[in-house]
């Protein structure tokens, strides 16, 4: 790992430091896990995709068994579970007490959801606040430079390259500006050159009819405008821990499909028919399969049919156990455990593991958003409305019973089918209706006067 102090010590060879930092980052364990998590997220589970059935020769050498079926059935647990955890907290976006949301732009919820999801599968993601918009840097495209003393993110390098034969682009982000580098096509990451000198994050323009727009200065933020978002307090990818359980599930399910392919449903053992050639045996088998009757040509011969039953119940029980274990260990909600017509108490109990994981996840998001808000001089806290199933009829009935003791805003906050963002408009329209109802014109319209 190269740190911010290493960067400060390498000011005489910044280009060399950038190439070395990218190389070490790509070779790191965190980067390897992040790339593997991307594969599982796209349902390309690496263990099952790389699995090859083998046999051993008489000398003990291991060789691939080309005659055996090799079905590779990859499950979608990883994508489903991470989507559930992310959308449970952010499916309805985030809200704020004041007009903070308007200052963050229309794409803020989308960018925050993208950053949150990548922080789950990679362990960490980075958000770059660029004047009026949030940009997302995944771990697979960003080299963080941490401070050795405080652990704070002090600088970073974003890099991307379509293919090894294309040019690489790298941008060095520092507290006092950013510098852009680019390499030659096929030159790799160790052959970079400056294509844009250090530039302030906020440019100041002036405009004249004669000269048009012209940059007259620049400003920076009080700190680096890139903030890390951790997926949990563990600061590691959600793939860690759950990968082996997913692999076990995939291997058992694929093995069952392979057994069904390898084992014939019915086979025959022919007694005293050793004089038949391979071609005669094939014709004999075909006649049995097509006409369901055949006569052996030799004396004292016999044909005995056999069937093979593939063990199913034990495997299905084990698959169900693994599935339940994956949801339990991950802290997810398996909807199959929620019976139809369940009360809110039963639903709340089923949601308890997901709620506990969401508490930790939302704590990380709150810290991330507050750091972003601090860059633009705002003090506020995001509010989440969790996206969960419920017995809405029971919930609405409960609110209706309590309505006489509550004000309008509290009632609207407790109704399950109304989002937090809708409440101010509803209250405003309701207030307008009440005002019109008690104005003189309103009374005349209703026939009071």
| Mean pLDDT value across residues 397-418 | 81
Beta bridge partners, 170, equal 159, 181
- Chain segment 320-330, per-residue pLDDT in tens: 999 999 999 99
Residue 207 has a pLDDT of 67
- Give the mean model confidence (pLDDT) for residues 43-55: 78
- Return the residue matching tokens 């599930």: 249
**pTM for this entry:** 0.77
Three-class DSSP category at 157: strand
Predicted confidence band at 55 (pLDDT cuts at 50, 70, 90)? low
Using the predicted structure, report yes or no on whether residue 210 has a pLDDT greater than 60.
yes
Find how far residue 352's CA is from the centre of its chain: 21
Residue range 391-400: mean pLDDT, rounded: 71
Round to whole Å and give the CA distance between 167 and 169: 7
Q: How confident is the model at residue 48 (pLDDT cuts 50, 70, 90)?
A: confident
CA distance 92 to 358: 14
Q: What is the pLDDT of residues 158-184, one digit of tens each?
A: 999 888 888 899 999 999 999 999 987
What is the average pLDDT across 353-380?
Answer: 94
User: How far is the C-alpha of 172 from the C-alpha of 157, rounded, in Å?
Assistant: 5
Q: Are 178 and 69 in contact (CB under 8 A)?
A: no
Q: Is the pLDDT of residue 9 over 80?
A: yes
Higher pLDDT, 207 or 168: 168
Answer whether residue 83 shows pLDDT above 50.
yes
Q: What is the pLDDT of residue 448?
A: 45
Give me the pLDDT at residue 264, please: 58
CB of 43 within 8 A of CB of 76? yes
CA dihedral 231, 233, 236, 237 (to 10 degrees): -40
State the Cα–Cα distance between residues 121 and 81, nearest whole angstrom: 10
- CA 437, distance to chain mean position in Å, is 51
Which pair of tokens denotes residue 272?
A: 């005293």
> For position 112, what pLDDT does the model report?
97
Alpha-carbon distance values, 302 to 266, 274, 276, 294, 355 (Å): 16, 12, 13, 11, 67
**The pLDDT value given to residue 326:** 94
Residues 6+ apart with CB under 8 A from 438: none
Sign of CA dihedral 437, 442, 444, 449: positive
Average pLDDT, the chain: 83
Residue 333 near residue 84, CB atoms below 8 Å: yes
Nearest to 305, CA basis, from 264, 263, 268: 268
SS3 category, 40: helix
Domain ranges across the chain: 4-76+108-230, 264-307, 391-449
**What does the alpha-carbon distance between residue 28 and residue 353 come to, in Å, rounded to a whole number?**
32
User: What gap in Å lies between CA 434 and CA 416, rounded to an integer?
Assistant: 24
Which are the contacts of 316, defined by CB distance < 8 A and separation ≥ 6? none
As a whole number of angstroms, the distance between CA 205 and CA 105 comes to: 22
Q: 114-138 pLDDT, tens per residue?
A: 999 999 999 999 999 998 899 999 9
Give helix then strand counts, H and E, for the chain. Answer: 15, 16
Query: Percentage of the chain surpassing pLDDT 70?
Result: 80
């Amino acid at each position: 790992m190269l740190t911010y102090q290493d960067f400060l010590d390498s000011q005489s060879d910044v280009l060399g430091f950038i190439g070395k930092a990218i190389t070490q980052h790509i070779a790191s364990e965190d980067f390897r896990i992040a790339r593997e998590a991307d594969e599982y997220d796209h349902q390309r589970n690496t263990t099952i995709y790389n699995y090859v059935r083998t046999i051993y020769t008489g000398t003990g050498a291991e060789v691939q068994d080309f005659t055996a079926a090799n079905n590779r059935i990859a499950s979608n647990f990883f994508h489903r579970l991470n989507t559930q955890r992310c959308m449970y907290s952010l499916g309805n976006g985030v809200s704020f007490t004041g007009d903070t949301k308007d200052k963050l732009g229309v794409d803020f919820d989308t960018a925050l959801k993208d950053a949150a999801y990548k922080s789950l599968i990679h362990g960490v993601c980075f958000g770059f606040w660029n004047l009026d918009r949030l940009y997302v840097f995944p771990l697979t495209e960003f080299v963080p430079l941490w401070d050795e003393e405080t652990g704070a993110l002090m600088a970073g390098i974003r890099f991307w390259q379509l293919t090894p034969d294309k040019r690489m682009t790298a941008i060095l982000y520092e507290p006092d500006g950013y510098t852009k580098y680019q390499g030659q096509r096929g030159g790799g990451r160790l052959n970079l050159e400056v294509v844009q000198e250090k530039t302030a994050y906020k440019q100041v323009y002036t405009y004249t009819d004669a000269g048009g727009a012209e940059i007259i200065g620049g400003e920076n933020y009080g700190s680096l405008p890139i903030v890390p978002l951790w997926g949990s307090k563990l600061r590691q990818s959600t793939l860690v821990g759950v990968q082996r359980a997913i692999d076990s599930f995939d291997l058992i399910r694929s093995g069952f499909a392979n057994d069904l392919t390898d084992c014939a449903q019915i086979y025959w053992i022919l007694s005293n028919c050793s004089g038949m050639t391979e071609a005669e045996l094939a014709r004999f088998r075909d006649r049995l399969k097509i006409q369901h009757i055949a006569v052996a040509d030799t004396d004292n011969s016999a044909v005995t049919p056999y069937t093979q039953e593939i063990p199913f119940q034990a495997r299905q029980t084990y698959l169900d156990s693994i599935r339940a274990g994956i949801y339990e260990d991950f802290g997810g909600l398996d909807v199959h455990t929620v019976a139809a017509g369940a009360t809110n108490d039963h639903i709340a109990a089923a949601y308890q593991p997901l709620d506990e994981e969401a508490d930790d996840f939302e704590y990380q998001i709150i810290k991330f958003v507050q750091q972003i808000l601090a860059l633009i001089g705002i003090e506020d806290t995001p509010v989440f409305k969790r996206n969960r199933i419920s017995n809405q009829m029971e919930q609405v009935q409960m609110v209706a019973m309590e309505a006489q003791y509550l004000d309008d805003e509290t009632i609207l906050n407790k109704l399950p089918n109304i989002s937090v963002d809708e409440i101010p408009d509803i209250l405003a329209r309701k207030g307008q209706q009440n005002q019109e109802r008690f104005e003189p014109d309103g009374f005349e319209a209703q026939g009071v006067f």
